[in-house]
Amino acid sequence: MKDTKVKELLNKMTLEEKIGQMVQVAGDIFLEEDINVSTGPLKDLKLSNEMLYNVGSILNIMGVDRVKKVQDEYLSKSRLKIPLLFMADVINGYKIAFPIPIAQGCTWNVKKIKKMTQISAMESNIAGVNVNFSPMLDLSRDPRWGRVMEAIGGEDPYLGEIYAKAMVEAYQGEDISKLGNIASCIKHIAAYGAVEAGRDYNTVDMSEREFRQYYLPAYKSAINTNAEMIMTSFNILNGIPATINKWLIQDLIRKELNFKGIIISDYSAIEETIAHGASENEKHAALNAINAGVDIDMMSGIYANNLKDLCLESKEIEEKVNQSVLRILRLKNKLGLFENPYGNLDKEKEKTYIMNKSNLEETKKLTQETFVLLKNNNNVLPLKEDKKIALIGPYADNIGITGSWSIFSDRTKNATILEVFRERLGNENVLYSKGTEILRQDEINKILKADGSPTIFIENEKEKEEASIKEAVEVAKKSEIILLLLGEHYKQSGEACSRSNISLPENQINLINELYKLNKPMVMILFNGRPLQLNNVENKLDGILDVWFPGTTGANAIIEVVFGDVNPSGKLTMSFPQSVGQCPIYYNHYNTGRPHTKDFRYMSRYQDIPTESFYPFGFGLSYCNFEYRNLKLNKNVLKEKDHITVTIEVENKSDCAGYETIQLYIQDLFGSVVRPVKELKGFKKLYFKPHELKIIQFEINKEMLKFWNSDLKFVAENGEFKVFIGRDSENTMEKNFFTK
């Protein structure tokens, strides 16, 4: 409908109806026989039944029948029949679980990421989603933080920027009301990835320059791509919780970045400002949030129970409420919900499109590009089918490979690695032993207890563990090569999964150590949601293939890479640490006055471990062997509005074909503020036929050299620069140039 109609509708609304639009609840209650908010899951929100039928949006209800039922029940009792908005966390896919976001980032393939996002948007749109809480654009430098698994751009602002744009475009399309398009709610504003020591929900204190230079670009890119919504973060940003931070929301997001869409709090984050000690009580929390500019209160009763009094006390607050409600109504209108409250819900397509064969096939290919080959001594991979292979480890016969955020996908549809191996090689040719559990039960119990779930006691767990490892050793003895399927538990990464120890679990390390004694080649397929500390096992392994949490098609994707039908091409987007004590660790750090170039005591270094990362940003091997040579610049002075052309020869020196991602980094050698040792400024992922030689070309212009200088201006300062090209952030060739 026309915008004037939307405004007319706003004028017809009572204050309670307006406030209701600014409240989001979990929708299960509308599915109950006897709807009563003073009992059941919404009890804590202290909503009135009247307010329930005024709420504007619903969290995480999906599926054609369920969504329809909720919408019908709501509309049957709502006076003005303003449809509900359905918002959800479709983080790595709806029914098809894609690889987790950190893995998707490792493809360095923007087209493929777009494709995954489009499939995810289409599946979830058919099933009722109007708004998706994705992408998560929090720059992440600390693998202790469990949410790094959701960070598509990893530790890099440039990748973050590119992926943010691609994903928002893919979710929203040209017109968000059209089938297959949904509104994107980017999150979490702001700098959530920088929480102290990786502790979730914690403190962030950083200079404005650091924030603008590294953390803001991905969010900004999504805003410039017209993302419809923003979610605030749980953390404090420079002394004030992000959710009530006026500088952040008003000055930066609304005024400077001109964001016109809706701002929603994270789950109960408005209420949490009381625990932060930044709001005195509930009413004050509501006042702080509305003054900062939060339009929707997700899952706390703060707006529902306090905004009315605040509006009656102040015309200014009432006006802010009107503005927020207008934004919400406009989004509903843009989605076409006033004409059709069911959006693109479609029972028929739910049956035919969701999990369809061609999308699953496509997904498998995308998944293969997320795998990162971390080690491949003596070309142990790909495996030969005629060798006797033993599959050992808790992930060999496990369907829990979709990651902690794939809350809508049906894990029972996942094949296991063991199944696909047996299918390919024949039952009799596959040796298998579980070896050990992913985690000891007492570790799992800690997680279950914190979840409020019942714990399990296992009698003689230690003895059972030893026996199981022994059994695995016996099985492995019969093999020529051991394929280990190991990693983190999916409940160990994601929200509220901060960890101080990011090694493999002790029982899995014991398994590796015992098998190592057999002196057979060992390859580890690693399942994980974060960079892990691998220095305590790596030297025992001949090969390591990191497959993250690969999702629905994971097992089939893995077997094809293991046997060389497909060549791995992923490159890391987060550095792997030598040791957890090195975290946060990232490639684009500053130099100190004593750079750690020499092995000399009074340098910025560790005494006990190398200072460099274990695996650097951008790292990832291939079954091909690529040679880089002849880095050339067409000139070495860059003038205003001009560019330098950089070329390098890359040759595939092997008999197989494969992708290589050629990376361009720049260093500004001197600036009004210190500049990082390297910054990614470009990359090309290209397919090489066997023995193919390509001349790769990049262009450098002044725009790429801009940074937030000592006056907090975004400018390029003239001087000397280094350009690096290489296969990862450490393995590069370099040349200098100047700007005038």
Which amino acids are annotated catalytic?
266
Q: What are 447's two structure tokens?
A: 């997680």
Q: Site for ligand BGC (CB under 6 A): which residue of 156, 161, 169, 266?
A: 266
Please, which residue, 57 or 279, has the CB nearer to ligand BGC?
Answer: 57
Q: What are 502's two structure tokens?
A: 């990011």
Please state, in angstroms and rounded to a whole number, the distance separating the CA atoms of residues 269 and 201.
Answer: 10
CB of 89 to ligand BGC, least distance (A): 5
Query: Is residue 495 within the footprint of ligand BGC (CB under 6 A)?
Result: yes
Q: 467 vs 461, 464, 478, CA distance in Å?
A: 10, 5, 18
Please, which residue, 59 or 286, has the CB nearer to ligand BGC?
Answer: 59
CB of 150 to ligand BGC, least distance (A): 8
Site residues for ligand BGC, window 524-553 (CB under 6 A)? none
Please, which residue, 163 or 683, has the CB nearer to ligand BGC?
Answer: 163
Please, which residue, 13 or 59, has the CB nearer to ligand BGC?
Answer: 59
| Residue 553 phi, psi (nearest 5) | -95, 15
Please state, in angstroms and rounded to a whole number, the distance separating the CA atoms of residues 417 and 25.
Answer: 39
Closest residue by Cα to residue 253 from 325, 187, 189: 189
Given CA atoms 136, 138, 139, 141 in this order, what sign does their dihedral have? negative
CB 579 within 8 A of CB 391: no
Helix, strand or coil, per DSSP, at residue 353 = coil
Please, which residue, 89 or 156, has the CB nearer to ligand BGC?
Answer: 89
CB of 234 to ligand BGC, least distance (A): 7
Please state, in angstroms and rounded to a whole number, the distance separating the CA atoms of residues 296 and 22.
Answer: 4
Query: Is residue 346 within the footprint of ligand BGC (CB under 6 A)?
Result: no
CB 297 within 8 A of CB 24: yes
Please, which residue, 320 or 530, has the CB nearer to ligand BGC?
Answer: 530
Please, which residue, 183 or 418, has the CB nearer to ligand BGC?
Answer: 183
Closest residue by Cα to residue 227 from 179, 189, 190, 259: 259
| Residue 374 phi, psi (nearest 5) | -95, -30
Kind and range of the H or E element at 297?
Answer: strand 297-298
Query: Is residue 405 within the footprint of ligand BGC (CB under 6 A)?
Result: no
Site string for ligand BGC, 51-90 (x = CB under 6 A): --------x-----------------------------x-
Please, which residue, 132 or 569, has the CB nearer to ligand BGC?
Answer: 132
DSSP-derived secondary structure for 242-289: GGG-HIIIIIIIIIIS---SEEE--TTHHHHHHHHTSSSSHHHHHHHH
Site residues for ligand BGC, window 156-195 (CB under 6 A)? 187
CB of 269 to ligand BGC, least distance (A): 8
Q: Site for ligand BGC (CB under 6 A): which residue of 133, 303, 395, 721?
A: 133
Closest residue by Cα to residue 204 from 195, 214, 216: 195
Please, which residue, 266 or 542, has the CB nearer to ligand BGC?
Answer: 266
Site string for ligand BGC, 9-28 (x = CB under 6 A): --------------------
CB-count burial class (<10 Å; 0-12, 13-18, 19+) for 203: middle
Site string for ligand BGC, 663-692 (x = CB under 6 A): ------------------------------
CB of 184 to ligand BGC, least distance (A): 12
Please state, in angstroms and rounded to a whole number, the distance separating the CA atoms of residues 450 and 593.
Answer: 45
Query: Is residue 267 within the footprint of ligand BGC (CB under 6 A)?
Result: yes
Number of chain residues interacting with ligand BGC (CB under 6 A): 7
Please, which residue, 266 or 350, has the CB nearer to ligand BGC?
Answer: 266
Helix-then-strand count for the chain, H and E: 21, 27
Given CA atoms 462, 467, 471, 477 in this order, what sign does their dihedral have? positive
Q: For the chain, what is the radius of gyration of the CA atoms?
A: 27
Please state, in angstroms and rounded to a whole number, the distance separating the CA atoms of residues 664 and 728.
Answer: 9
Please state, in angstroms and rounded to a whole number, the distance separating the CA atoms of residues 641 and 245.
Answer: 38
CB of 266 to ligand BGC, least distance (A): 5
Cβ neighbours for 623, distance < 8 A, ≥ 6 positions apart: 373, 376, 379, 381, 382, 564, 567, 568, 654, 656, 658
**Number of other CB atoms surrounding residue 202 within 10 Å:** 16
DSSP-derived secondary structure for 615-684: B-TT--B-SS-EEEEEEEES-SEE-TT-EEEEEEEEEE-SSS-EEEEEEEEEEESS-SS--BS-EEEEEE
CB of 153 to ligand BGC, least distance (A): 16
Kind and range of the H or E element at 711?
Answer: none
DSSP-derived secondary structure for 513-558: HHHHTT---EEEEEE-SS--B-TTTGGG-SEEEE--S--TTHHHHH
Please, which residue, 211 or 267, has the CB nearer to ligand BGC?
Answer: 267
- Residue 215 DSSP one-character state: I
Q: Strands 658-668, 679-688: parallel, antiparallel or unpaired by DSSP?
A: antiparallel
CB of 405 to ligand BGC, least distance (A): 9
Query: Is residue 271 within the footprint of ligand BGC (CB under 6 A)?
Result: no
Site residues for ligand BGC, window 288-327 (CB under 6 A)? none
Please, which residue, 171 or 421, has the CB nearer to ligand BGC?
Answer: 171
Please state, in angstroms and rounded to a whole number, the distance separating the CA atoms of residues 657 and 129.
Answer: 40
CB of 86 to ligand BGC, least distance (A): 13
DSSP-derived secondary structure for 408-449: SS-GGGPPPHHHHHHHHH-GGGEEEE--S-SS-HHHHHHHHH
Residues that bind ligand BGC (CB under 6 A): 59, 89, 133, 187, 266-267, 495
